[in-house]
Amino acid sequence: KKRPIRKLASIKPPQAPLAGVRVVEIGNYTTAPLACRQLGALGAYVVKVEAPGGDLGRSLPPVRDGQGYFFTLGNSDKRSLMVDLRTDSGKAMFRNLLSKSDILVENLKVRSLARLGFSEKEIARINPRLVHCSTTGFGIDSPYSSRAAMDTTIQGMSGIMDLTRSADGVPYKTGISIADLAGGQFGLLAALAALAYRDRTGRGQFVDLSMH
């Protein structure tokens, strides 16, 4: 007896692991965008919040059609929204996004959001179930917390450059930006772990992640 042939249209694709999870990203360059790129690839609905002028990485060369390859590769599977957090309307829009989201990932300078009215406590008040992952150079409680840091800074201060010297002994950074990349991947891991904890307990988390 012949089996009936199923129509391809009737075969539903498997649901993505993070389908239904809503993510807000606010940051520049690598760490936050990389973490959220991966969340988006896993099926999350990611809204990238950009200040007027956009992510600082948008114009990094090489550029095609006005947009850098670096930015394009790190920001797939996202929706972008311009929000000016210095204005009342921008604050209201951001507050509304947070109230409906599961995860916030940001890599702004320490206390940048707090100075705009969105401290960790205020964000938790807006949405007690929100996972808030903040990635900075040295962490909130570090003696260096007020210092801005890029990949090269972290490679130098962590000792990585001491291990990758030139033939004449001069310390050099690694060929790729490993501190930025590791920061993004640890941000992804922290966000997923905190989300699992939230789903078990009903309580959100604040994650203070130091690249250093």
Q: What is the largest CA-CA distance in the chain?
A: 78
Concatenate the DSSP letters of all residues of 71-116 into one string: HHHHS-S-EEEE--TTSHHHHHHHHHHHHT-SEEEE-PPTTHHHHT
Q: Which of the following is catalytic: 102, 180, 199, 208?
A: 180
Active site residue 55: no
Q: Is 43 left (phi over 0), alpha (psi -120 to 50) or beta?
A: left
Catalytically annotated residues: 180
